[in-house]
Chain A
């Protein structure tokens, strides 16, 4: 394959970063961007000018995505910033989340679509509260790969001891995590460029790859669930034309597993069974489909199927229940979560009403301690609740499938998104 069309073979890695200005995160992202040519001259010129106007000593890379006037005026990042860069091997989407205001809401949002969490630890300070908080949220949101960058190695004389100390601290704390299966430690200096793109000559004791190589090569393909076939119906295609008179196609994005032409399937909630007659991707017929492809499925028998229904396999069905047990992250600053609260639930392509039947406990994201006997959740609280839905929800545990195990709660009056939930 020539250099020219190597993009035909590129894949995609979504990762999340978190932290405040002084831990070197901006410097790190700036270096990745600079070294992969993701920053352009007019952008650099514009932020150089702004940095100078603001009296910053260094070029402040946050200005690249802190595009809102309020953000620039206050020198803070308000929201998750999505940043993009690519190497010939991979395209990267970084969900860069601010470490202060509404940190839980932003970290949870950023982590919800990420495959990897990049966690920065200052080699001088070791594991601190923010490290634990970010790790806990990454784990809660089902991220399997964590890359811990032990930064500012230049300030500790590039000593292996300093690296080992942080590694031990972190490993000790990470033994309690549920989902993280792949933990990688890389000693770096974002400022000096050690172990970012090229292997550092200052740390010959480190035998692993530099960060960019790790990000380019880490295998995330097996993170998707290719076992439990789930197809939430999103939209029904009925052309109403002479050419496609009897055409009825069920469109959606495969939420898990693999579907093949000829497979026996069951439709929920009706319970009817039939076979897959055809799978279409655009106007092209394909033999099989898997997560996260968007396709259209045609069935052999005429069965009533509509948005919110789910196509599954008869011998592997999701849980069907009106009583749900979930971890909930509460986002709203204007409304409190209390027992008996009524909301709208969005789960896959389905919408239902719910009532909070029990608030079980809240987790202190800094100490990871459970706090029971609480009245409710305030903004940024995370904890375990039980809820009752107005109709059965077809679901899996979040741990087994992120797509069929996640939901959001919406305020029936203001239509705001109030909370994110993960089913247990």
Chain B
């Protein structure tokens, strides 16, 4: 008899494509949250596959903190153009200007948490009823309990103790007016799966993910890149190092790691040998034990 087995990556791919199509079918106006990070790039690649040869039937949404690595924006715009999708940008700066978000002050100020405000405002303005996110359950402990189809009430809030059970391939996206969903097609992927899939599918990623020389400062155990948004304080001395990023987020809180990995094979080998999680370099998760849960309850990705 024929061998009808799929590899783990083929199974994860098939599951993610199923979720993407289910989202298109069950919701009136979904959007794909696209940050230019590797998870959202892989998700966008899967969306292109899911609806080929038609175009991806929903817009991309970028919640822009304004604190970007220029490489991310360049990559985003190129990707959008190539795939012919609509891009909706929700700018945190606009929320601040409107007075709906207030800039944090103090030495560790970041716009990371303000993204929730802007995201919810964008959802409302664009009448989005589902937002596809690249979140994975292996990333962080509050995410480990997240559903594929995650229900949010009219205030955008997540109620982790009252989630809908998800069985088999049956996803319940029914909702009342004003409510919406977050959908996570990569729920069952690990960081390693994402890199391996990028490798076998030849997915182009921003060069920030590969080794380059950059001025960094060591702040609270995170190597932050010196930029127009992060400048060294009195007691800090910037150093030139060979680094790369394992995750890409807001430039003020995404730490780099020392690395000489220059291609996906090197990265896969490095991740396999790594003893620290990718979010270990994210200052936003280090604020407190329940930092992610609290942000998610308020509407974070």
List residues of chain A with CB under 8 Å of any chain B CB.
4-5, 7-12, 37, 40-43, 46, 50, 63-70, 72, 78-84, 86, 90-91, 93, 105-106, 108-109, 112-113, 221, 224, 226, 234-235, 237-241, 243-244, 247, 251-253, 258, 280-283, 290-294, 296, 307, 331, 344, 346-347, 349, 402-403, 406-408, 410, 415-417, 420
B residues in contact with A247, CB < 8 Å: 53-54
Contact partner, B145, options A5, A81, A238, A417, Cβ 8 Å: A81
Interchain Cβ contacts under 8 Å between A and B, 22 examples: A7-B192, A11-B7, A41-B275, A63-B141, A69-B290, A79-B163, A84-B138, A90-B8, A91-B8, A106-B165, A109-B166, A235-B25, A239-B55, A244-B53, A247-B54, A251-B21, A253-B14, A282-B52, A292-B14, A294-B50, A415-B175, A417-B164
Q: In whole Å, how far is B49's beta carbon from the nearest beta carbon of chain A?
A: 4
Number of interface residues of B (CB under 8 A): 69
A282 contacts B8, C-beta separation under 8 Å = no
B220 within 8 A of A: no
Complex Cα spacing A251 to B54, Å? 12
A-B pairs, 3 with minimum CB distance: A67-B141, A282-B49, A239-B54
B85 within 8 A of A: no
List residues of chain B with CB under 8 Å of any chain A CB.
2-15, 17-18, 21-22, 24-25, 48-55, 137-138, 140-145, 160-161, 163-170, 172, 174-176, 187-188, 190, 192-193, 196, 200, 265, 268-269, 274-277, 280, 289-290, 292-293
B25 contacts A307, C-beta separation under 8 Å = yes
Q: In whole Å, how far is B285's beta carbon from the nearest beta carbon of chain A?
A: 10
A residues in contact with B2, CB < 8 Å: 258
Complex Cα spacing A86 to B172, Å? 30
Q: In whole Å, how far is A62's beta carbon from the nearest beta carbon of chain B?
A: 11
B residues in contact with A307, CB < 8 Å: 25
Complex Cα spacing A86 to B48, Å? 28
Contact partner, A72, options B6, B275, B289, Cβ 8 Å: B289
B7 contacts A10, C-beta separation under 8 Å = yes
A408 contacts B145, C-beta separation under 8 Å = no
Complex Cα spacing A288 to B15, Å? 18
Shortest Cβ distance from A406 into B: residue: B168
A68 contacts B52, C-beta separation under 8 Å = no
Most A-side CB within 10 Å, residue of B51, B187, B274: B51
Shortest Cβ distance from B189 into A: residue: A84
Provided the pairs A237-B54, A253-B14, A294-B17 are in contact, do residues A417 and B4 lie with their beta carbons within 8 angstroms? no
A417 contacts B143, C-beta separation under 8 Å = no
Complex Cα spacing A251 to B192, Å? 28
B7 contacts A9, C-beta separation under 8 Å = yes
B6 contacts A293, C-beta separation under 8 Å = yes
Contact partner, A283, options B13, B52, B290, Cβ 8 Å: B52
B168 contacts A12, C-beta separation under 8 Å = no
Complex Cα spacing A72 to B172, Å? 28
Shortest Cβ distance from B164 into A: residue: A417
A residues in contact with B18, CB < 8 Å: 234, 253, 294
B residues in contact with A410, CB < 8 Å: 172, 174
A-B contact count (CB 8 A): 196
A67 contacts B21, C-beta separation under 8 Å = no
B residues in contact with A112, CB < 8 Å: 167-168
Q: In whole Å, how far is A30's beta carbon from the nearest beta carbon of chain B?
A: 15
Q: In whole Å, how far is B158's beta carbon from the nearest beta carbon of chain A?
A: 10
B residues in contact with A258, CB < 8 Å: 2, 4
Complex Cα spacing A91 to B169, Å? 20
B168 contacts A417, C-beta separation under 8 Å = no
A41 contacts B276, C-beta separation under 8 Å = yes
Q: In whole Å, how far is B212's beta carbon from the nearest beta carbon of chain A?
A: 23
Complex Cα spacing A12 to B190, Å? 13
Contact partner, A67, options B140, B192, B274, B276, Cβ 8 Å: B140
Complex Cα spacing A80 to B163, Å? 11
Complex Cα spacing A291 to B187, Å? 20
B268 contacts A4, C-beta separation under 8 Å = yes
Complex Cα spacing A293 to B15, Å? 8
Q: In whole Å, how far is A212's beta carbon from the nearest beta carbon of chain B?
A: 17
Provided the pairs A12-B8, A290-B4 are in contact, do residues A105 and B165 lie with their beta carbons within 8 angstroms? yes
A68 contacts B7, C-beta separation under 8 Å = no
Contact partner, A240, options B54, B175, B192, Cβ 8 Å: B54
Complex Cα spacing A9 to B6, Å? 9
Q: In whole Å, how far is B253's beta carbon from the nearest beta carbon of chain A?
A: 16
Shortest Cβ distance from A345 into B: residue: B170
B167 contacts A349, C-beta separation under 8 Å = no
Contact partner, A82, options B50, B137, B140, B276, Cβ 8 Å: B137
Q: In whole Å, how far is A388's beta carbon from the nearest beta carbon of chain B?
A: 20
Provided the pairs A67-B293, A68-B142, A403-B169 are in contact, do residues A11 and B24 lie with their beta carbons within 8 angstroms? no
With A84-B138, A241-B55 already in contact, 13 other A-B pairs whose C-beta atoms are closer than 8 Å: A7-B192, A7-B196, A11-B11, A72-B289, A80-B145, A82-B188, A109-B165, A109-B166, A113-B168, A221-B5, A247-B53, A252-B21, A408-B172
Complex Cα spacing A106 to B161, Å? 13
A82 contacts B144, C-beta separation under 8 Å = yes
Contact partner, B52, options A10, A11, A280, A406, Cβ 8 Å: A280
B residues in contact with A251, CB < 8 Å: 21, 50-51
A residues in contact with B140, CB < 8 Å: 67
Q: In whole Å, how far is A88's beta carbon from the nearest beta carbon of chain B?
A: 10
A70 contacts B144, C-beta separation under 8 Å = no
Complex Cα spacing A247 to B49, Å? 16
B276 contacts A42, C-beta separation under 8 Å = yes
A residues in contact with B277, CB < 8 Å: 40, 42-43
A residues in contact with B142, CB < 8 Å: 67-68
